[in-house]
Structure formats: C-alpha cells, structure tokens
C-alpha cells in the first residue's frame, strides 16, 4: 500500500522536476554586453515594450535591454527594493509614489541627461512640484501623460445638436437638455472607488489651487476652504447619473457608455481602449471639464502617466542614457500614444489620438494642471472618502474629515515640510 | 443503514444546491467563448450563447500566459509542495498528536505551530522577500519551502485531529512484535491516514494552485511565472479582458479538478473502517 | 523501548520545527520590529516607539474593520458549518451519481477570484434586482453591494459559497472514520434520523467539527480575496476587513510600519480567540 503510493508520488515529482529543468531559467548568459533592466508599471502597454525591447536589442551590440511589464509592479518594485535588487530604470507614474522614492533617495539625479531639453517644461515642473520639499536635481524623465475630463458620444451630440459646454452653468443646462430628451447625461462606475476621483480631479483643477495639498502641508490653508465648491458641484452632477451609481463598476460604466446608454462619461483618456473594445464603432471624443463659472478659469486635468527614473544604484549611466534615447525617439513615442491614447511629454510634432480632439487646444497651449490626487497618500483612501461623501451627501462632515485625516496620514511629510520651512523660511 | 426516504430528500437537496454551481459555471463558459464586443449589461445579453463557438479565446489565452511553461511551473510547485506536505506534515502531526495530551513541550509546540496559521501574510511579506533573497531562495524552490511552512499549521491540525480517532492499540500491537516507532509509523499509521492524506493533498494543492502573492513576492524579477501570476496579465486598472481571462481560468481549472477527482476516491474509500474494527 | 519512542518523536519534531521558526517566526519577529517604526516598505525609516500602537487604538477605521470582520466571520462560520454538515451527510449517504455531486460541489473552490468576483458582481448588480423587481421585493431592487448596510451580506454569501466545499470535504473524511457497526448497533436501539445524528454521528466527528471551526476562523477573520473581488472595501468603506487594511495600506500604501502594528495586534486577537475555541472543543472531546 505505502510503497505504491510513495512510488506514484516519486514519479509525479520526477516528472515535474524534469519539466522544470526543461522549461526553466534560460536568462542572462554573460556575453560581455551591458545588461540594462527596465521594470515599468503599465502592463497594458506590455506589447509595445516587447517590441521596443526587440528592436533595441537588434540594433545595439553593446547593450542588452530587458523590459518587464509585470502586473502589480508596485508590489514587485517594493519587494525588489527591500532586497536591494534594483532594476536600472523604473517606469512609474508621476504620483505620490514618485515623491516617496525621491524622498527615500532611491532615484538618481539625471539632470545631465541631454534628452531632458526636449521634454515639455510643464511636465518637468510637475515632477518638481511632486517633491515633498525642494531637492536639487532631476529625478525623472516624463514619457507620456494622460488627461481626464468628459468623454462624450459624438454621434449622439451631433444628432441632437448639443454644444460643448464652456462653463459650469452651460454644463448643467446641457445635462437638463439631455435629460429632457429621455437620455441619461452621465454614467458613473462608483462601485470601483477609484473612479470617484476622475470627476473630482478634473473639477478640482478648475476650482482649487494646483498646489492645494502643499499649501495645506505648509499650514497656509485647509481643504475645507479649498474643496467646498468642488464638493458641492460634484453633488450637483450626481443628479444626472444613473439611479444607483454605486452599484456599477468601472467596467459596467465603460460598457454602458459604449453601448450608448449615456451621452457622457466623466473619466480619463485611459478608458478609451476599454470602451472601444466593447463597441469599436463608437465615435468617441472628449472635452475639458467646465467646472469653473467662467470659461477662462478652466484648465485641462493632465498628469504624467509614465516616466522613467534611473535608480541610484545603477552603474552604467551612459548605457542607460542610450536606452532612454531610444525610448524617446519620436517614432517610438508616436507608437506608444497610438496604442494607449496618450499625450506625449516630449516637444515635437506628434499626431494626437482623435479622442483627444476636444482637448487639443488646451494641450498645445499648455493649459494643463496636474491631478490633485497625485498628492494624496493612497492609504488615506480619498477615493473611498469621496464615495462615502457621495452616498451621504454631507459636505461639512466630508471636508472636516478630509482635513483631520490629512494631518494624520501625512504626519511625517508635514514634519519634513515644516523643518524645511524653518531652515529656509527666512531666506524667502 | 440510513433509510431510503432520507436518501431521496438528500438527493433533492443536492440537486437544489447544484443550481448555485451550475449557473455561475454556465456564465463562465459562455463568457469564455464570447468576444469583448458581445459583452453587455443586460440580463438576456449575458445569458445568451456566444455568436460563434470558437476556440480562439483559448488559443490566445494560452499564448498570453505562455501556458505550457506556466503550467509546468505551477505543476512542479504544487506537486512538490503536496508530496512534501504529506510526508513531513503527517510526521509532525503524528509526533504532536500523540504527545500533546501528556507533554507540556509538545502541547506548546502544537499551539505554537497551529497559531502560525493566523499570522497575516502581509506582515511576513517584506521580511520574507528579504530573507529568501539573502538565502539565495528567491526562486521556485524558495516558494515551495515557504508553502511547507505556511500550510504546516493547517495540515498539522488536520493530521493530529485525525489521529484522535486512530486507537493506540494498533501501535501497541506492532510494538509487541518488536517494530520501532519509526517503522510502526510508516507501516501502520501512515497508510491508515490515507483519507487524511487525500484531504490534505486537496486542500494544500488548491491553496497552492491559486496562490498569487507568494510567487509574486518571492519570484519577482526571476522571469518565472506560475499560472495565476500569468493570469494577472488579463487585468489592469483601466481595462480587463474578461473573455480571455475566463477562458484561461477554465483551462487552469482542469488540472486541479482532475487531481481532486483522483484524491476524493481516496478520501472516501478510507481504510479506517476496516482497520479500526 | 520508551526512550526509543521519545527519541524518534524528538528527531521528527526538531528539524520541522526549525524550518517553521526559520520561515515563520523569524520574519514575524522582524515584522514586529517594523511595527515600532514609520517604515513605508522601502527607503529609510525612524523609530517611533509605541506611536503606531497608540494610533491603532484611536483609529476609527481600524475599529470599524474589526467590527465588520468579526460580524462577517461569526455569521459565515455558522452558515457554512450548518450547510456543509448537511451536504456531507447527503453526500455520504447512498445516493446515485455520488461522485458527480462530489465533483460538482468542489467547483466553487477552484474558480479564480477574478471569475467569482465578476459573476457575483453581475449577479448582485443586475440579476438579483431584476428578479426582486419581478416578484416585488422592494428592498432588493438595488444592488446589495451598493448599500453600505447590506454589502457585508453579499460578501458573506460569496465566502460561504466558496468555503462550503472545503468544510464539506473535511466533514466527509470525518464521516469515514465512523465505523459502520456504530450505525448497526444504533439501528438496533432504534436511533434514526436526527437522533442518530445527535447521539451517534456527531459525537464521533467532533474533532472534525473543531478543525472546521478553526479553519473558518482563519478563512473568515482573515478574509481578503472576496473583498478584493467584490467591493474593494466599499461602499463607504463599510466592508474593509482587517486583512484588507493591512495589505492595502501596508503593502500598496506607505503605512507598512503602522499596519505591521495592526497585524501584530490582530494576530494576538485571533490566537486568543482560537485557543479559547480549541480549549472549548478539546473539553468536548474529552467528555466523550
């Protein structure tokens, strides 16, 4: 009895081990080439990066490039950091993680990289602003940006002769108009809490200072003062969405909007591929969220979606710059923006995706402001707080909690800022 | 024996319960065959059959996950973990189960190990990522070792629980014949625990087969994928291809289902009934 | 003779225990050390003493997650054990197509959480409200997952749906240890149905009952996958389980130190609960 069982087991184990030996580990035969490794956090762009990797290796004899686009890259990156196993280049977003990494001195100063001259100053400024306290040096090279506002069904708009609204009042009037024709103005997917941030961000850039979070950290203002109008307008907007927006997720909302169940969907340009996968024939366009009462007060909500940072432990800066040069070649960037409906951070004559048509004016004139949530620590769960607020509709309670929670979750950052202010404050 | 009437009502209950399984399974299968453009939010839309029954989704899913390679890794890790668990955890369960009632030391070790079940993985993750890397175990073997430790509490609990129902008399009889404890264990106790081996095999295999976090953290950057890791490719924050994902999950369900069917025969044809008498 | 037995047991225990300490206890201790820092998961960190622990007890969000988790765990444990015991008895009786049923009931366990999440989301969002509409139950016309007061029930249902298979298997393997002659003897005494179960079957499978209780405590107090698949802690943060907070804010967020403290406290709480539980069912076993 026993022998038979053990034998089975042995056979199974041997087979498995053999299959592993055959399939496993073929990596890194050292052939004198410099190995450069990139880990980038956008798995949806994996195909693009595989192509780039192949093309680069085919044309370069001295460097071997490896790009991985894992899912849950942040976990992988953090795990590797703790092991002190740093990739040479990391591709991350321009959000609070970047701020943390700069603060943790994980990233290298790349101000000597020649390619920086070709990058749009606006995006370099965004990265500068994301540092908790001013630090000398440039720690990231912006690659592409995304934008959030309102996506709309162009055919539907043309059919009913609806105009693109320029101010908040026009938007509300438009919604009334749409509703009166028996069509749902907005779709929301608030079951996925992060989607609550999309309208929030695009309204906040119109109504609150771009550096609200930093002002609060310096103790100059409060969110209660700055975010009241945003909160109130958000509630107003809710009336034009589905009856129970908290029942639907991002995916439901994309599907519903793609199938013409609503005229507009307040979300970012990143949603376009998902929407078009459901309905490839949809005539999709976008416009800037007109949250301000005057058209001039509106600005496009746009932030860095992907940027490349060199890690401090990287030894081959020259080779890394060569890789970056290749990545930032115009035709590669064009390929990326075509595949991912993105906005290039590099200066130059790029063909923007058609779904951004309604935003082009703001993009070319540089009238763009970074996402407010790029300053929010993720553990504070502002997205969930907004969802709670939209469910409970209590502006005062929401804003008060925002302020108290902010102090609690940003305690260490605020201390950092205040120490810096103390040292440098007199110099101003 | 139980009478015929209760058997009939058992059958009715089972069939009713079955509907809660058939329905989700039906959805999984039709979605796996549909195209993204066939996805709707309406009920008749989701229930409808796909327009074309084509295996393209499965083919594409296999390509994206590098199916055979990932399957090989998953099989290796799962089978090795299950095999080692049956050998080592049953021994540990035996040592602890037979002694915990009368020895303070073993009773402490038992509680010590079983309480390991409740350590939230998140707190271990960072330290383990570091430790395995330092020990050169940031690979599939390290993952197997960790599984041996993670599932030890549950399996020890199961084995020593099972031993309660196995009378000491059996071992004493063997001892009279002059067999050592070690020999007695392999000759008598180990085979008798066969239903529990099968239970442990199923539970452990299932947990290992579906686990994402351990290989994600430990094998990060090693170019090696298990099936669940590869399946992460189908979902990202801004878009999920449910059709391909469902096809892939159906594929990865087959090996474990076969494994379960083999094991469950062992659970049921337990030898205890005959042996205990 | 006696010494040989003792030596063998020690030789078995020591190496396995060493392995366990190496990969469980030592990293746990390291984690405990992090709980006294403001470590973000990377980079430099400072010692903060007991700040994390003090914060923990004044954090309303953590408090709510405890309430939610325990409520969920208790209810799900009861539901799962009742149903899987019934199923195990049914599957263990002489019925047709036994292996088919046993295979089928195992399926919920192996469907990946992406699939389970999608299907149950669909069920709660579209199908259940439509059915409720048809038969006129107003309270179910909107998705229960979008109702902060009811979302936990949705999670409970999915947890139970998935866990029942596991518990059933354990009960079945327990039923295998009940010798046939017990029933035969019982049959002679006139014990059938409920009486037979209560006085003959159940006492014999009490060890398996306690195993299942412990597994339930583990699975449901540490619930995570189902939360990620169904609600991600929403709506209105009403379904944030303790494990969800520990993972989400500790690993994905920058609160590694604080959440380590949370994990340490949670670990102690769970151990106390289950030791109490084991003591309790251990007493029951001894009574037999």
Tell me the residues of C at the A interface, defined by beta carbons under 8 Å apart: 38, 40-44, 55, 121, 125, 129, 142-143, 145-146, 148, 231-237, 248-249, 251-255
Cα distances from C167 to residues A186, B23, B249, C86, C255, in angstroms, run: 45, 22, 23, 11, 35
Tell me the residues of B at the A interface, defined by beta carbons under 8 Å apart: 36-37, 39-41, 68-69, 72-73, 75-76, 79-80, 83, 86, 125-126, 129-130, 133, 138, 140, 186-187, 190-191, 194, 197, 216-217, 220-221, 223-224, 232-233, 235-242, 271
Flag whether pLDDT at C285 surpasses 70: no
Q: What is the dihedral of CA A323, A325, A331, A334, to 10 degrees?
A: 90
What is the pLDDT averaged over residues B199-224? 87
Predicted TM-score (pTM) of this structure: 0.87
pLDDT band of B276, cuts 50, 70, 90: very low
Q: Single out the residue in A359, A390, A406 at which a domain terminates.
A: A359
Instruction: Looking at the structure, tell me whether residues A259 and A218 fall in a common domain.
Output: yes
Question: B190 and A12: CB-CB below 8 Å?
Answer: no
Residue B45 half-sphere exposure, CB side, CA atoms within 13 Å?
Answer: 14
Site from C64, C253, C258, C259 to mutate, A interface, most A CB atoms within 10 angstroms: C253
CA distance B263 to chain C (A): 11
Instruction: Looking at the structure, tell me whether residues A224 and A283 fall in a common domain.
Output: yes
What is the total count of domains within chain A? 2
User: Distance (Å, rounded) from C-alpha B96 to C-alpha A368?
Assistant: 67
What is the pLDDT averaged over residues C256-270? 92
Flag whether pLDDT at A22 surpasses 50: no
Given B11, B22, B203, which is nearest C166 (Cβ)?
B203
Sign of the Cα pseudo-torsion (A353, A357, A363, A369, in order): negative
Is there a domain that residue A27 lies in?
A: no
Tokens of A393: 């509709």
Instruction: Looking at the structure, tell me whether residues A290 and A404 fall in a common domain.
Output: yes
Instruction: Looking at the structure, tell me whether residues A99 and A54 fall in a common domain.
Output: yes
Lookup result for tokens 């009632």:
B101
Is there a domain that residue A114 lies in?
A: yes
Given A19, A44, A255, which is nearest B41 (Cβ)?
A255
Where in the sequence is the domain holding A65, given as residue range(s)? Answer: 34-147+304-359
Instruction: Looking at the structure, tell me whether residues A308 and A287 fall in a common domain.
Output: no
Given B41, B124, B195, which is nearest C28 (Cβ)?
B124
User: Distance (Å, rounded) from C-alpha C168 to C-alpha C108?
Assistant: 12
Given B158, B260, B273, which is nearest C106 (Cβ)?
B260
User: Distance (Å, rounded) from C-alpha A175 to C-alpha B144?
Assistant: 58
Instruction: Looking at the structure, tell me whether residues A164 and A243 fall in a common domain.
Output: yes
Instruction: Looking at the structure, tell me whether residues A257 and A339 fall in a common domain.
Output: no
Domain boundaries, chain C: 51-287
CA distance A23 to chain B (A): 6
Average pLDDT, chain A: 89
pLDDT band of B269, cuts 50, 70, 90: low
A102: nearest CA in chain C? C43
Q: Which CATH number fits domain C51-287: 1.10.645.10, 1.10.3720.10, 3.40.109.10, 3.40.50.720?
A: 1.10.3720.10
C91 touches chain B (CB under 8 A): yes
A384 touches chain C (CB under 8 A): yes
A311 CB neighbours in chain C (<8 A) are: none
pLDDT for position B268:
63
C30 CB neighbours in chain B (<8 A) are: 127, 130-131
pLDDT for position B170:
83
Is there a domain that residue A314 lies in?
A: yes
Could you tell me which residues are beta bridge partners of residue C23? none
Its ipTM equals 0.87
A188 CB neighbours in chain B (<8 A) are: none
Domains of chain B: 1-54 (no CATH), 58-276 (1.10.3720.10)
pLDDT tens readout for residues C144-185: 899 999 999 999 999 999 888 888 888 887 887 777 777 777
Instruction: Looking at the structure, tell me whether residues A143 and A155 fall in a common domain.
Output: no
Q: Which residues contact B188 (CB under 8 A, 6 or more apart)?
A: B170, B171, B174
User: Distance (Å, rounded) from C-alpha A84 to C-alpha A161?
Assistant: 59
Q: Does C172 or A26 have the greater pLDDT score?
A: C172
CATH number for the domain spanning A95: value is 3.40.190.10
User: Could you tell me how far CA C127 lies from the centroid of its own chain?
Assistant: 27
């Amino acid at each position: 009895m026993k022998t038979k069982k053990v034998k089975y087991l042995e056979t199974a184990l041997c087979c498995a081990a053999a299959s592993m030996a055959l399939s496993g580990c073929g990596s890194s035969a050292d052939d004198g080439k410099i190995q450069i490794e990139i880990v980038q956090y956008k798995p949806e762009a994996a195909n693009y990066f595989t192509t780039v990797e192949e093309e680069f290796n085919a044309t370069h004899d001295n460097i071997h490039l490896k790009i991985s686009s894992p899912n849950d890259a942040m976990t992988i990156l953090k795990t590797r950091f703790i092991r002190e196993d740093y990739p040479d280049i990391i591709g991350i977003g321009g959000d609070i993680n970047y701020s943390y990494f700069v603060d943790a001195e994980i990233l290298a100063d790349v101000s000597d990289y020649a390619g920086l001259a070709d990058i749009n100053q606006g995006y370099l400024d965004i990265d500068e602003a994301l540092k908790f306290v001013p630090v000398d040096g440039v720690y990231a090279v912006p690659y592409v940006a995304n934008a959030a506002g309102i996506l709309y069904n162009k055919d539907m708009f043309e059919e009913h002769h609806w105009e693109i609204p320029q101010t908040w009042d026009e938007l509300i009037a438009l919604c009334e108009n749409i509703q009166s024709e028996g069509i749902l103005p907005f779709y929301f997917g608030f079951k996925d809490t992060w989607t609550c941030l999309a309208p929030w961000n695009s309204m906040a850039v119109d109504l609150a200072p771009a550096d609200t979070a930093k002002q609060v950290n310096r103790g100059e203002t409060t969110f209660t003062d700055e975010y009241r109008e945003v909160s109130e307008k958000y509630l107003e907007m809710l009336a034009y969405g589905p009856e129970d927006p908290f029942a639907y997720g991002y995916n439901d909302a994309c599907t519903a909007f793609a199938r013409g169940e609503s005229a507009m969907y307040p979300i970012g340009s990143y949603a376009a591929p998902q929407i078009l996968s459901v309905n490839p024939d949809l005539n999709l366009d976008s416009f800037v969220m007109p949250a301000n009462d005057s058209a001039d007060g509106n600005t496009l909500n746009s932030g860095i979606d992907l940027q490349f940072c060199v890690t401090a432990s990287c030894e081959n800066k020259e080779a890394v710059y060569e890789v970056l040069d290749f990545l930032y070649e115009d035709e590669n960037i064009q390929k990326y923006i075509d595949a991912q409906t993105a906005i290039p951070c590099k200066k130059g004559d790029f063909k923007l995706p058609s779904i951004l048509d309604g935003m082009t004016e703001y993009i070319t004139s540089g009238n763009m402001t970074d996402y407010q949530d790029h300053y929010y620590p993720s553990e504070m769960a502002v997205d969930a707080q907004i969802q709670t607020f939209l469910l409970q509709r209590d502006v005062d309670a929401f804003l008060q909690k925002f302020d108290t929670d902010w102090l609690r979750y940003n305690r260490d950052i605020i201390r950092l800022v205040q120490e810096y202010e103390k040292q440098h404050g007199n110099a101003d | 024996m139980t009478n015929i009437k209760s058997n009939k009502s058992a059958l009715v209950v089972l069939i009713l319960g079955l509907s809660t399984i058939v329905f989700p399974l039906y959805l999984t299968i039709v979605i796996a065959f549909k195209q993204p453009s066939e996805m709707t939010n309406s009920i008749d839309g989701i229930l409808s059959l796909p327009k074309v029954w084509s295996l393209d989704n499965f083919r594409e899913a296999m390509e994206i996950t590098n199916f055979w390679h990932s399957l090989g890794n998953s099989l290796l890790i799962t089978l090795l973990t299950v095999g080692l668990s049956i050998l080592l955890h049953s021994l540990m369960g035996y040592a602890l189960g037979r002694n915990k009632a009368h020895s303070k030391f073993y009773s402490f070790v038992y509680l010590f190990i079983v309480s390991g079940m409740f350590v939230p993985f998140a707190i271990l993750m960072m330290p383990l990522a570091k430790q395995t890397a330092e020990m050169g175990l940031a690979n599939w073997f390290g993952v197997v070792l960790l599984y041996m430790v993670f599932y030890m509490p549950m399996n020890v609990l199961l084995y020593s629980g099972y031993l309660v129902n196995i009378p000491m008399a059996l071992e004493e009889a063997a001892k009279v014949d002059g067999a050592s404890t070690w020999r007695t264990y392999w000759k008598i106790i180990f085979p008798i625990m066969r239903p529990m081996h099968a239970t442990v095999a199923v539970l452990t295999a299932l947990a290992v087969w579906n686990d994402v976090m351990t290989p994600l953290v430990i094998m990060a950057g090693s170019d090696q994928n298990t099936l669940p890791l590869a399946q992460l490719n189908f979902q990202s924050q801004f878009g999920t291809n449910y059709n391909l994902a469902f096809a892939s999950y159906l594929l990865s369900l087959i090996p474990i289902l076969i494994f379960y069917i083999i094991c469950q025969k062992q659970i049921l044809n337990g030898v205890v009934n005959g042996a205990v008498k | 003779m006696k010494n040989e037995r003792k030596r063998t047991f020690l030789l078995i225990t020591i190496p396995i225990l060493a392995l366990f300490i190496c990969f469980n206890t030592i990293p746990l201790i390291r984690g405990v050390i992090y709980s006294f820092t403001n470590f973000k998961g990377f980079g430099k960190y400072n010692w903060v003493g007991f700040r994390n622990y003090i914060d923990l007890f004044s954090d309303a969000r953590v408090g709510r997650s405890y309430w939610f988790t325990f409520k969920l765990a208790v209810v799900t444990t009861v539901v799962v054990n009742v149903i899987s015991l019934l199923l195990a008895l049914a599957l263990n009786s002489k019925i047709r197509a036994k292996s088919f049923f046993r295979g089928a009931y195992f399926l919920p366990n192996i469907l990946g959480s992406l699939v389970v999440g999608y299907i149950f989301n669909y069920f709660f969002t579209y199908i259940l409200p439509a059915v409720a509409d048809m038969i006129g139950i107003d309270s179910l016309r909107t998705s229960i997952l979008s109702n902060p007061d009811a979302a936990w029930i949705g999670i409970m249902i999915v947890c139970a749906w998935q866990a029942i298979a596991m518990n059933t298997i354990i009960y079945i393997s327990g039923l295998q240890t009940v010798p046939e002659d017990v029933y035969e003897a019982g049959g002679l005494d006139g014990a059938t149905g409920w009486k037979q179960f209560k006085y003959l079957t159940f006492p014999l499978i009490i060890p398996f009952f306690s195993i299942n209780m412990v597994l339930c405590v583990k699975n449901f107090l540490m619930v995570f996958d189902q939360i990620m698949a169904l609600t991600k802690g929403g709506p209105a943060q009403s379904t944030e389980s303790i494990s969800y907070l520990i993972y989400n804010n500790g690993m994905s967020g920058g609160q590694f130190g604080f959440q380590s403290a949370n994990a340490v406290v949670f670990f102690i709480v769970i151990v106390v609960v289950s030791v109490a539980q084991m003591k309790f069912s251990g007493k029951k076993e001894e009574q037999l």
